[in-house]
Amino acid sequence: MSLHNKLLFALSAVVMTVSVSQAAVRDTIRVNSGGSDYTDTQGHLWVADSGFVGGQTYSATSTIAGTSDQTLYQNERWDSAPFSYVFNVTPGSYRVNLLNASLYASVCNSGGRRFNVLINGVQVMTDYDMYDEIGACLTAQIKTFYTTVTSNGKLTIEFTLGSAGNPKIDAIEAYPGVNTGILNGSVGSKSNISIASSSNGISVQTNAKGAYTLELRNLRGESISQKVGFGSGSQSFSDLRPGLYLLTSKVDGQTASRTISVVR
């Protein structure tokens, strides 16, 4: 086989292995996972399920509490293996809303379904339990996160297995962020700090009994700033560019890390 034919064969093999159902490039994403086109009560069009990689669909006719848009919560994409969505969007900061309701009766209980969610590689929910969130089945829930899409123009949302049941999603909404937001996902034990957005960064309130250390790093692990103090007080990390950061706190013998997303 000639070199030219070998290259054509290799290229064909690569093309054949790509099975991503891509959504079109745009700034606002509204996808009715597992369902068809739907215009909500505010006049927004949610397109039929698209952008997914893997997964299967399920639907129900049950009435969903807490929403005037039943259609968005009566269809879902789920699987017993990880699946994801990949959207082509303009690079920048985005607010991501994940819409869900417990539809399947056999896992609609505390601990019946626990799964993880990652947005652009950052785990934003660990062992998420829809029932534990509000203590009810067939009830609409919206979880909001902030992320930054880099120059590759890809917004990737992954749903992976947790400690019980299967991951699922009813609808996905993403649009450019317009306000400073904090994605406050603690990892490990709870630390005695609280985080709030400020005009050009974040403010960290400590409630320590002794000495504490706060360190802010970017996702490459490079240190942005470090603060030390004693007792209760407030520390500010200012002049932060939009993007994702990791805040590690060491307070009263407890160490915790939180993912912070700053959007403008």
Domain of 123: which CATH number?
Answer: 2.60.120.430
pLDDT of residue 198: 67
Whole-model pTM over 0.75:
no
Residues 251 and 141 in one domain: no
Cβ contacts of 194 within 8 Å, gap of 6 or more: 204, 205, 207
Decide if 72 contacts 94 (C-beta within 8 A).
no
pLDDT of residue 177: 63
Indicate whether 194 and 98 sit together in one domain: no
> What CATH number is associated with residue 193?
2.60.40.3080
> Domain range spanning residue 24?
20-176
Per-residue pLDDT, 209:
86
User: What's the pLDDT score for residue 260?
Assistant: 75
Dihedral of the CA atoms 211, 215, 221, 225 (nearest 10)? -140
pLDDT at 10: 39
Q: 29-32 and 114-119: which strand pairing? A: unpaired
Residue 173: per-residue pLDDT: 95
Q: Does residue 172 sit in the same domain as residue 189? A: no
Say what the pLDDT of residue 75 is: 96
Is residue 13, in this structure, part of any structural domain at all? no
Residues 138 and 240 in one domain: no
pLDDT confidence of residue 2 = 52
pLDDT at 3: 46
Both tokens of 249, joined, read 């706190």
Contacts of 131 (CB under 8 A, 6+ apart): 102, 108, 109, 110, 112, 113, 137
- For the chain, list residues with pLDDT below 50: 3-26, 178-190
Cα 228 to Cα 35, 188, 191, 206, 225: the distances in Å are 51, 21, 15, 11, 10
According to the model, what pLDDT value does residue 178 have?
A: 44
Question: Looking at 117, 144, 176, which one is the last position of a domain?
Answer: 176
Contact between residue 22 and residue 52 where contact means Cβ atoms under 8 Å apart: no
Predicted pLDDT at 259 = 73
Rounded-to-10 torsion of CA 227, 229, 235, 237: 0
Residues 167 and 190 in one domain: no
Residue 1 lies inside a defined structural domain of this protein: no
Give whole-number Cα distances, 135 to 54, 102, 110, 112, in Å. Answer: 30, 11, 8, 12
172 inside domain:
yes
Instruction: Check: CB of residue 150 under 8 Å from CB of residue 73.
Output: no
> Could you tell me if 80 and 154 lie in one domain?
yes
Q: Are residues 163 and 64 part of one domain?
A: yes
Q: Where are the beta strands (DSSP E) in the chain?
A: 29-32, 38-39, 45-48, 52-53, 56-59, 75-78, 83-88, 92-100, 114-119, 122-128, 141-149, 154-164, 168-169, 171-176, 185-187, 193-198, 201-218, 223-238, 243-251, 254-262
pLDDT of residue 135: 83
143 found inside a domain: yes
